[in-house]
Amino acid sequence: MDVPSAMTKTVTTVSEEGFSSTNEIREFETSIDPNGEDAPDTLEALLAAYGSCYVPALRVGGQQRGADDLGKIEIETSGELNDDDKLESVAFEIHVEAEVDDDTADDVVERAFELCKVHDALKDSLHAETTVTTDAF
């Protein structure tokens, strides 16, 4: 087996039977069930990865755009499906603890999208639409 380079991410996906699979990610293991019965389904896993990637991007974006400490962040990520049950659009409803003016919030959101690696990997039509509520907690 080839040893991955420092610039390669490797995940091993194993399915013993049926549609569910276990993903071995370094020393971690996650399960995905496309039917959504025994584990998150594939699109839920994608939405979770997108939101999880966007949180640190928001924090760094905040530091770079004048909102040094956003405090608690909560993102409700929703994905609309088309008639073929494929992802058609994504939306983030973002709540941050800090009180941030609208212009700064817009700058932070824009910068976070530039920093988010999952966002970068998605086709343009799946880039999340956003709403931001500040002073939310």
pLDDT in tens, 63-108: 999 999 999 999 999 999 999 999 999 999 999 999 999 999 999 9
Q: What is the number of domains present in the chain?
A: 2
DSSP 126: G
Same domain, residue pair 51 and 34: no
Same domain, residue pair 17 and 70: no
Write the pLDDT tens digit of every residue in 27-40.
Answer: 999 999 999 999 99
% of the chain beyond a pLDDT of 70: 96
Q: Given the DSSP bridges, would you call strands 21-25 and 12-14 parallel, antiparallel or unpaired?
A: antiparallel
Domain housing 15: 1-40
pTM score, two decimals?
0.89
Same domain, residue pair 78 and 24: no
Rounded distance, CA 77 to CA 130, Å? 9
pLDDT for 7: 87
